[in-house]
Amino acid sequence: MINTTELYSLIAGQPAFTEGPEYESRNPARPSDLVARVRLAPPEAIEQACRTAKTAQADWALVPAPVRGRIVANLGRLVEANKEALAALVTRENGKPLPEALGEVQEIVDTCDFFLGEGRRLYGQTVPSEMPDKQLFTFRVPVGVTTVITAGNFPVAVPSWYLVPALLCGNAVVWKPAEYASASARAFAELVWRAGLPSGVLNLVFATGDDTFEGLSRALEAGVVDKVGFTGSTAVGERIGELCGRHLQTPCLELGGKNPMVVTPRADLDLAVEGALFSGFGTAGQRCTSLGTLIVHEDVRDEFVDRLDKEVNAAVIGEPTGDVLYGPLLNDRFAESFESVLGWIDEHHTVRGSTGIGRITEDNPRAGFQGDLSGFYYHPVIVDGVRRTDRLFLEETFGPLVCLTTYRELDEAIDLANASGYGLSSSIYTSDPATAFRFRQRVGAAMVSVNNSTSGAEAHLPFGGNGRSGNGSRQSGVWVLDQFTRWQSMNWDFSGKLQKAQLDVATV
């Protein structure tokens, strides 16, 4: 793998803006471990990278799609060959347990496996004309330059959901990863370049959020950006949506979630507890698909909560290279915002799942904790008695916290599941097919799990959100092709005369 100590933006393969302010990317499990020094580029970097990308894209678009597919195939094999090293870096830089990091890297391989074949498909259509001796066609054409802005909770898999199809479709990319995931991003980008990408087709820019926004605004103004892909918070997504809208562009937005899990009286409670533990507390609750609120039927509530409480209490938290349920929060900024979320707990709520609340310290210990207390480790919390008007019920918490409420009738559970206005993932545990289908029909979430947790996407199924979770765009599988291509039509008249649509239509 590459040397990750000093990182610069790379535009057309060349280090750029090497004099900028420095950001230190640190291991959240042991912040004294410096993973990388990152030079942050100014706003003009995005614009410059987009200009470079624009030039490179013209040639890249003319490379036959099956040849672009070969490069995607090479990338898949390279990622596979570097799986352990890349996963270890993800764990070191972002603190997710190693098996999850390995799963994340596998998700890139799966994405490549899917899209390498798309290089030989990327189908258009032949369409009948209303006139004789005339044929109509459709073609998928690349959008142009895509700016991809990604979060660091999935520092390589989620970026690959943009990069792989965007490149396969003949676009050039400017990727601005989260600063705190710079080393993982650089390592993944390195593999993409090594897979055989021509210079300037993928450019990497390290910058702060504000500078990125400013740079993006200039690039849109200059007409050198054609599509924006963003995964991150709803608040930032709204700003990006507004900015793109001013330039008549529709970005691909994958935002937050407040994902509900309904536990019905006909649920397998062992399964439901396991699912709640994994999606509520796994990855320290830092997935957009993490479980937000448990909506449990009154008849099974006590038994379910007791069992979950026991499991959460017994879970091992600590060093992410060890055998743990979860490791630290992503960095000090995420720790700080999770602490303000904990401040939303009030006297109406009962806290379960742990003997402590807040950061795990010597004075606020956790039984079985295995790690270095300088890391950003937090106690897991189940907040019982959450009401639908509570901030805790309405907002994404992005940490090891799960809200709990009860219901009596299915309609009430569905209403509660939809009440936050987010619409990413959802889940229901039941052995009754009619209940599962009714839930599927009426829930606002774009993704529905039956007898499975809210987390865990597959590379060939549409991924995305409705409402506050996104603008309806979908990633993964064939659906994402509509994000990175536009339809072009062609009509070809071989009648030897001018045939006019609508006016010269043959009647029978």
**Least separation in angstroms between CB 249 and ligand UN1:** 22
Please identify which residue in the block is written with the tokens 């006590």. 302
Residues forming beta bridges with residue 134, ordered by sequence position: 493
Tokens representing 333 are 């900024």
**Least separation in angstroms between CB 145 and ligand UN1:** 23
**Least separation in angstroms between CB 114 and ligand UN1:** 14
d(CA 376, CA 274) in angstroms, rounded, equals 25
Task: Collapse the DSSP code of 468 into the 3-class scheme (helix H, G, I; strand E, B; otherwise coil) and give the result.
Answer: coil
Q: Which is nearer to ligand UN1, 287 or 474 (CB)?
A: 287
Say how many residues make up the chain: 508
Which of these is catalytic: 179, 254, 319, 396? 254
Helix and strand numbers, DSSP H then E, in the chain: 15, 24
Residues forming beta bridges with residue 9, ordered by sequence position: 16
Q: Which is nearer to ligand UN1, 203 or 231 (CB)?
A: 231
254 is catalytic: yes
Which residues make up the interface to ligand UN1 (CB under 6 A)? 153-154, 158, 231, 287-289, 455-457
Q: Are 104 and 79 within 8 A, CB to CB?
A: no
**Least separation in angstroms between CB 107 and ligand UN1:** 6
Output DSSP code: residue 395.
Answer: S
Tokens representing 295 are 């909506």
Note the Cα 408 to chain centre separation in Å. 34
**Residue 426: which of 451, 401, 395, 394 has the closest Cα?**
451
Q: Which is nearer to ligand UN1, 376 or 407 (CB)?
A: 376
Please identify which residue in the block is written with the tokens 């509520």. 280
**Least separation in angstroms between CB 457 and ligand UN1:** 4
Q: Which is nearer to ligand UN1, 48 or 94 (CB)?
A: 94
**Least separation in angstroms between CB 485 and ligand UN1:** 23
Tokens representing 340 are 């303000």
Q: Which is nearer to ligand UN1, 154 or 378 (CB)?
A: 154
Query: What are the distances in angstroms from CA 262 to CA 2, 188, 190, 265, 297?
Result: 45, 37, 43, 10, 8
Q: Which is nearer to ligand UN1, 39 or 474 (CB)?
A: 474
What residues act catalytically? Answer: 254
